[in-house]
Structure 1
Amino acid sequence: MIIFNYLLVCLIFGTTFLAIKVGADAHTPPFFSAGLRFTVAGIILFLWMVWRKKASLALLFRKEVLLTGIGLTFGTFSALYWAEQYVSSGIAAVLSATGPMMILIMQTFVMRLKATALSIFGCILGFAGIVLLLLPSLTVTANKVWVFGCIAILIGEIFYSSGALYSKQVIQRFPQTSPIALNAAQMIMGGLLLLILSSFTEQVDIKGMLTTKVIGPLLYLIVIGSMVGHSLFYWLVAKTNPVFPSTWLYVSPLIALAIGMLFYGEKITWLMAAGVLTIIGGTICANLDSLKQLFHRRKTV
């Protein structure tokens, strides 16, 4: 059951990038779409946790939840949704996979934690992969907006990394609160911030959004991506350890690339493919030591 649910998480998270891309190509306002997705999904999950008496409404008024929402949802997905107007879903998934590598860099240079030689090599390899991925388009004027989109995703991953590190402290501060409730609360906060951003920067045509190309992906992202995917993810955390479920980041980019090429006609060059494999390889190397340690602990328990 654990392996089946893990593969299901990889498949779900791998397809969400294409769902975002389909909505973007249908000219859905990116910030409004992201805000609606996370606000609705967060409210449904949070009310369910309140009904099960595993969370209280007071949680929504905590600054810790707001700060987590800024990192994990607002900063990450405002950048991702905006960028997918110009970047393919497969490349967006690959660049998003740099999150664990950025967490390692922050732990090393900001939190002053010692990094192993393999981890440092992984970071260098991942950076080389990013250069390989972006280099072909740096000299092409028509593709500069594509490069800006890629850079935006990387900036979003800095927000994600900060939020992920901070969320570990938040979980420790609220030991009696379910992690699912904490995640739902931060999705609400991040989603509301996205809607506020949308109100200042976008013109939303509700009637124009009432099409299958807009409603379909949005419902998929709310129900399957945010509610089912995240619930399965936290179930895996409870049944295994915090790191094993996170390895979806190494599998889902390949799924996203394959789905994008097969069903959406997205193209990738040989040089870009080399960059993709280098980024994934660097991310695995950067986190291999922690993966080995946690799997060893799991076996000895």
Structure 2
Amino acid sequence: MIIFNYLLVCLVFGTTFLAIKIGVDASAPPFLSSGIRFFVAGLLLFGWMIWRKKASFSLLLRKEMLLTGIGLTFGTFAPLYWGEQYVASGIAAVFSATAPILILLLQMIIMRQTPSRRSLIGCIVGFIGVILIILPAITLSASMWLLIGSLVILVSQLFYSGGAIYSKQVTKRFPEASPIALNAAQMMYGGALLLMLSACTEHWYFKSLLSADVIGSMLYLIVIGSMIGHSLFYWLVAKTTPVFASTWLYVSPLIALTIGVLLYGEAITWVTVVGAVTIIVGTVLVNYESLKQLFQKPQREITQLQEAHSN
């Protein structure tokens, strides 16, 4: 069951980038569509948790939910949706794999943590991968918007990294609260902020939301991407470890690249593939120690069982 749900999480998160791309290509305002997605998904999830008596309305009154929503939802998805107007969905997914690298950099700068030499090498390797991917946009003046979109999406991962670090502190402050309820609350705040940004910057032509592509994209992202995908992710965290659950970052970008090419006709070059693999290798190096412990744990358990039987 764990392996099945893990593969399902990888597939879901790998397809959400294409769903976003389909929606924005169909002229859905990026901030409006992302705001509706997260506010509705958060509202439904939070209502479900209230019904199961695993959350209370007082959780919505805590400033921690607002701050987490700014990092994990508003600051992450406002740039991502906007950037995907100009960047292929597969490339956007690959850039999402830089989050662990940026988390390490933030821990170095803000928290004064000293990383290992291998982690520093991983940061450099990941940075080289980013350069390889955006290199065509730098050399071709006609692709200026591709360059801007790429940089904006990278900024989104900086927000996500900060939000991820802060959310770890939040979960410690609310040990009695369900992680799903915490996630739902921050999605509601983030979605509300996205809708406010949309009201100030976009024209709300609701006809643009009524096409089959936009409706299909929205439903998929609300139900599959936000409600099911994130719930399965937190289920994996509870049943395994956060490190194991987060390894979707190494699998989903490759899925996103593949389905973008096969199902949506997105162009891909060998430089893009090399850049994507380089970023993932860099991410693996950054998380090497955690991954090593993750894969050594089952072996230790097997050894302990063998010793117990021999005794």
Q: TM-score, normalised by structure 1?
A: 0.98
- State the one-letter code of the partner of 1:75: G
- State the one-letter code of the partner of 1:60: L
Q: Is residue 217 of structure 1 aligned with residue 217 of structure 2?
A: yes
Is the 1:49–1:55 Cα contact (8 Å) retained in structure 2?
Answer: yes
State the Cα distance separating 1:84 from its structure 2 match. 0.4
- State the one-letter code of the partner of 1:148: I
Indicate the residue corresponding to 2:3 in structure 1: 3
CA distance in 2, matches of 1:259, 1:208: 25
Residue 287 of structure 2 aligns to a residue in which SS? helix
Mapping of residues 16-35 of structure 1, within 5 Å: 16-35=16-35
**1:107-127 per-position Cα deviation (integer Å, ceiling 9, x unaligned):** 122211121111111000000
State the Cα distance separating 1:139 from its structure 2 match. 2.2
Indicate the residue corresponding to 1:194 in structure 2: 194
Is the 1:240–1:298 Cα contact (8 Å) retained in structure 2?
Answer: no
CA distance in 2, matches of 1:132, 1:70: 30
**1:152-208 per-position Cα deviation (integer Å, ceiling 9, x unaligned):** 011010100000000000000000100100000000000000000000000111123
CA distance in 2, matches of 1:142, 1:182: 43
CA distance in 2, matches of 1:273, 1:298: 32
CA distance in 2, matches of 1:219, 1:24: 14
State the Cα distance separating 1:297 from its structure 2 match. 5.2
Which consecutive residues of structure 2, in runs of 5 or more, have no partner in the other structure?
302-311
Indicate the residue corresponding to 2:144 in structure 1: 144
Which consecutive residues of structure 1, in runs of 5 or more, have no partner in the other structure?
none
Mapping of residues 139-178 of structure 1, within 5 Å: 139-178=139-178
State the Cα distance separating 1:296 from its structure 2 match. 4.0
Residue 243 of structure 1 aligns to a residue in which SS? helix
- State the one-letter code of the partner of 1:38: F
Q: Is residue 81 of structure 1 aligned with residue 81 of structure 2?
A: yes
The two structures, once aligned, show a CA RMSD in angstroms of 1.1
Mapping of residues 47-58 of structure 1, within 5 Å: 47-58=47-58
State the Cα distance separating 1:269 from its structure 2 match. 1.2
**1:218-266 per-position Cα deviation (integer Å, ceiling 9, x unaligned):** 0000000000001100110110011101000110000000000001000
Is the 2:27–2:208 Cα contact (8 Å) retained in structure 1?
Answer: no
Indicate the residue corresponding to 1:108 in structure 2: 108
CA distance in 2, matches of 1:209, 1:175: 39
Identity %: 64
State the Cα distance separating 1:141 from its structure 2 match. 1.4
CA distance in 2, matches of 1:281, 1:51: 43
- State the one-letter code of the partner of 1:282: G
Residues 1:286 and 1:257: Cα distance change in structure 2 (over 3 Å): same
**1:50-90 per-position Cα deviation (integer Å, ceiling 9, x unaligned):** 11111111111111010000000000000000000000000
Mapping of residues 28-43 of structure 1, within 5 Å: 28-43=28-43
- State the one-letter code of the partner of 1:259: I
State the Cα distance separating 1:293 from its structure 2 match. 2.7
**1:109-150 per-position Cα deviation (integer Å, ceiling 9, x unaligned):** 221112111111100000011111111221211101101101
Is the 1:75–1:160 Cα contact (8 Å) retained in structure 2?
Answer: yes
Mapping of residues 201-240 of structure 1, within 5 Å: 201-240=201-240
More off after superposition, 160-169 vs 206-215: 206-215
Number of equivalent positions: 301
* Higher CA-based Rg: 2
Q: Is residue 185 of structure 1 aligned with residue 185 of structure 2?
A: yes
Residue 111 of structure 2 aligns to a residue in which SS? coil
CA distance in 1, matches of 2:79, 2:32: 13
CA distance in 2, matches of 1:186, 1:105: 24
Is the 2:54–2:181 Cα contact (8 Å) retained in structure 1?
Answer: yes
CA distance in 1, matches of 2:298, 2:157: 29
